[in-house]
């Protein structure tokens, strides 16, 4: 193992230092943004040759940004709550003057002239962009060389693998990823940190290479729950939501702890894949929450909940069906130009050639009905609890693991958080909480409480 960070831990206030505490040190003059940044650069220097989390490092620019942040703190005018926070950006997100290659030889060496809304928002907020993190080919196909910081023979996860590996190893306190099925949440589970996929549409996606725009989410990897909240708030305010969406709202600080009364237990077909040790870790967490007063509801306890559990099993199909239709641009153009792809993309391209508009509309109709059924369940439950992945990080970089546990929230567009609260066989294992669309702040409040309850 190459990291000294714990396998599982609590990520909320009182357990993990947040950037808010560091920012106060900047204000007090006890530390500078440059000093803080250099600690992470030292870690990158020590680890990157083993972990391969980055495809491009922008250390000189990061140092200049940190020095500019120091002046703002000196003058008492920090740009935002994340001014001076070192960050990584998934190499799917356009960054002016820096190669943005989407894990594909098609874009090798391509340098955009303008920032994506996400990038521009982070810069305006004073974040210190340290580099572009590795991603699988178009966030779907050929793997990256990134490795799991807890065992370099294991995968760091799927397409946001570089962002997860960098945060998991301690090379960054936070990083930006994207998710269609499980690409923020599952790597965060494998690499032992917080992963957040907000409500669909909360963060604008322009100038991020598209695959299935109606299902893609911008998300966050972070060590501290509070840091994830602050980054999302900045992005929601500065980048704005997907046009026509309402975006993310909530308090300036991490939402206050709120104990859930009833949480539905999620199985999905992924439960059948889980090993005895993985199941035991999850059962122990449920028992602890139950002893703390949370009613853990089985799906079969109510017909409406059982219908949802049945829906969860079809989420993968729906995501893939919608993606097959939506990927036709630009992938048909790439194909026409003679480009070839990894087998994962090629298989979906076969469906893209066969799928009809009626098929696409049928999948969208099912998706809308699924979301409506889930939203109606808010009268019965405060959210859903489950594993983030049915396994610890698999051995072998090509073995990216299974998205089954994360697909339901992605398909519904519901907000989801994975907490680094569990472990199995000496490796990290995430605990997933799913909230209700548009109620991201409420989900953070529940996660804040659950995180603390499991740490007692």
Strand arrangement, sheet containing 295-297: 54-57, 128-133, 86-90, 174-179, 217-222, 194-197, 416-424, 427-434, 384-387, 262-265, 295-297
Torsion angles phi and psi, residue 49, rounded to 5? -65, -25
- Under 8 Å CB-to-CB from 370, ≥6 apart: which residues? 311, 314, 315, 318, 411, 412
**Cα distance between residue 168 and residue 18, in whole Å:** 15
**Cα distance between residue 166 and residue 434, in whole Å:** 25
- 410 a catalytic residue: no
Identified catalytic residue from 161, 183, 212, 407: 183
User: How many residues in the chain?
Assistant: 456
Distances from the Cα of 55 to the Cαs of 50, 131, 296, in angstroms? 13, 8, 43
Supply the Cα-derived Rg of the chain in whole angstroms: 20
Torsion angles phi and psi, residue 351, rounded to 5? -70, -35
Q: What is the DSSP letter of 440?
A: H
- 159 a catalytic residue: yes
Identified catalytic residue from 90, 132, 197, 367: 90
**Cα distance between residue 164 and residue 175, in whole Å:** 8
- The 3-state secondary structure of 245-304 reads CCCCCCCCCCCCCCCCCEEEECCCHHHHHCCHHHHHHHHHHHHHHHHCCCEEECHHHCHH
For tokens 């709202």, what's the residue? 249
| First and final C-alpha spacing in the chain | 27
Q: List, in sequence order, every residue forming a beta bridge with 220; answer none if it has no partner.
A: 176, 196
Residue 420 contacts residue 407 (beta carbons within 8 Å): no
Phi-psi region of 268 (alpha: psi -120 to 50; beta: other; left: phi over 0): left
- 4 a catalytic residue: no
Phi-psi region of 346 (alpha: psi -120 to 50; beta: other; left: phi over 0): alpha
**Cα distance between residue 40 and residue 88, in whole Å:** 11
Identified catalytic residue from 18, 47, 80, 159: 159
Distances from the Cα of 39 to the Cαs of 42, 92, 171, 222, 416, in angstroms? 5, 26, 9, 17, 31
Catalytic residue positions, numbered: 90, 159, 183
């Amino acid at each position: 193992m190459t990291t000294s960070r714990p396998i599982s831990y609590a990520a909320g206030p009182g357990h993990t230092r947040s950037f808010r505490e560091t920012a106060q040190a900047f204000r007090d003059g006890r530390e500078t943004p440059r000093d803080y940044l250099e600690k992470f650069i030292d870690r990158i220097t020590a680890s990157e040759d083993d972990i391969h989390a980055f495809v491009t490092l922008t250390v000189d620019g990061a140092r200049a940004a940190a020095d500019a942040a120091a002046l703002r703190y000196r003058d008492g005018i920090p740009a935002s709550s994340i001014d001076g926070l070192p960050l990584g950006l998934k190499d799917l997100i356009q960054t002016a003057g820096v190669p943005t290659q989407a894990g594909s030889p098609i874009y090798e060496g391509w340098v955009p002239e303008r920032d994506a809304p996400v990038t521009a928002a982070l810069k305006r907020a004073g974040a210190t962009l340290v580099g572009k993190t590795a991603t699988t080919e178009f966030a779907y196909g050929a793997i990256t060389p990134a490795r799991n910081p807890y065992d370099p023979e294991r995968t760091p996860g799927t397409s946001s693998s570089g962002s997860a590996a960098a945060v998991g190893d301690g090379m960054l306190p936070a990083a930006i990823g994207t998710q269609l099925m499980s690409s923020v949440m599952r790597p965060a589970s494998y690499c032992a940190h917080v992963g957040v996929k907000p409500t669909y549409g909360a963060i604008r996606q322009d100038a991020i290479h598209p695959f299935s725009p109606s299902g893609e989410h911008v998300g966050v990897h972070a060590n501290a729950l509070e840091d994830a909240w602050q980054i999302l708030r900045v992005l929601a305010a500065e980048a704005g939501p997907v046009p026509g969406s309402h975006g993310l709202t909530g308090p300036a600080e991490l939402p206050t702890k709120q104990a859930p009364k009833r949480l539905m237990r999620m199985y999905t077909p992924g439960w059948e894949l889980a090993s005895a040790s993985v199941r035991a870790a999850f059962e122990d967490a449920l028992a602890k929450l139950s002893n703390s007063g949370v009613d853990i509801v089985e799906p079969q306890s109510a017909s409406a909940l059982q219908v949802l559990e049945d829906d969860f099993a079809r989420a993968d199909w729906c995501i893939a069906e919608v993606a097959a239709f939506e990927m036709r641009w630009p992938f048909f153009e790439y194909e026409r130009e003679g480009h070839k792809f990894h087998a994962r993309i090629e298989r979906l391209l076969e469906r893209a050639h066969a799928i009809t508009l009626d098929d696409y509309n049928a999948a969208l109709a099912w998706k809308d009905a699924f979301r409506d059924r889930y939203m109606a369940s808010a009268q019965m439950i405060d959210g859903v609890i489950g594993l983030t992945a049915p396994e610890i990080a698999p051995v072998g970089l090509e073995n990216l693991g299974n998205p089954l546990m994360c697909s339901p929230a992605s398909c519904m567009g519901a907000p989801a958080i994975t907490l680094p609260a569990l472990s199995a066989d000496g490796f990290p294992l995430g605990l997933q909480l799913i909230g209700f669309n548009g109620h991201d702040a409420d989900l953070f409040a529940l996660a804040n409480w659950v995180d603390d309850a499991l740490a007692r």
